[in-house]
Structure 1
Amino acid sequence: MILPEITPLTAPYWAGARERKLRLQSCRACANVWHPPSPGCPRCGSPDYQWIDAAGTGQLHSFAVIQAAAHPAAQGRLPLVVALVRLTEGPLFLCNLLGCAPEDVRVEMPVRLDFEALTPEIVLPQFRPLG
């Protein structure tokens, strides 16, 4: 299984995920909220930011259905719905859509946050249909 690397920059994000919270960065200079983690605001460039907990809701912006595994670890998970979710806070978030058959997925459907533990250290924020 290919796992993400926890770095000093991403450590607060992964710590939040282990607590079942989706942590995003928020700029203290311009109030922009973003993901993925970066050392400064992608809008204004300020390095002054804080970590905030997302509401855990959003809307499906786009998706793709993966039918063939590129890695053996993914073989048992097919078909896999890879989703681009517009978070309530604004950023787009790339994840898997859980609990929904590919034929039932619709752009703009409301979604809610869920988590999938891959290891004790790596817990992935994912989304599933609301309701």
Structure 2
Amino acid sequence: LIQKCMNCGSSVFYPRMFCPKCLSNNLEWVESEGKGRLLSFTILYSTSYPEFNDDLPFVLGLVRLREGVNMIANVVDCKPEELKVDMEVEVVFDDVTEELTLPKFKPVRRSTA
């Protein structure tokens, strides 16, 4: 879900109380298409947080959704050396606990028919 300004039509992420373009507070939650492009990424080989040691190495990516907003999230289901700036990605959801679900992105794989 992302916010959409009902006044000017802008998509908004991260969640805010006012639209950053027109300052309207007439924001509604809308479902994102969940697809976008990888703008940038970094591969983490070490971390200061022991909770993440089992996940190393992992990739953090900056994704521009088709709605025009940017989101930072893990990029999964891809070897780090396969990553390319501007590659198409789509959201997948990781149910970490019953209360916490994280959006992550994976490359869009084209089927070869």
* TM-score (norm. length: structure 1): 0.81
**1:105 — aligned with what?**
83
CA shift at 1:118, angstroms? Answer: 1.2
Correspondent of 1:38 among 9, 13, 16: 16
Is 1:80 aligned to 2:70, yes or no?
Answer: no
* TM-score (norm. length: structure 2): 0.94
Q: Which has the higher helix share?
A: 1
Q: Which has the higher strand share?
A: 2
CA distance in 2 between partners of 1:67 and 1:44 (Å):
41
Equivalence map 1:1-131=2 (5 Å): 23-131=1-109
Q: What does the per-residue CA deviation read over 1:16-39, in whole Å, with 9 as the maximum and x for residues that have no partner?
A: xxxxxxx00000111110111111
**Higher CA-based Rg:** 2
- One-letter code aligned to 2:58: L
CA distance in 2 between partners of 1:113 and 1:98 (Å):
10
Percent identity reads 35
- One-letter code aligned to 2:96: L
CA shift at 1:40, angstroms? Answer: 1.0
- One-letter code aligned to 2:42: A
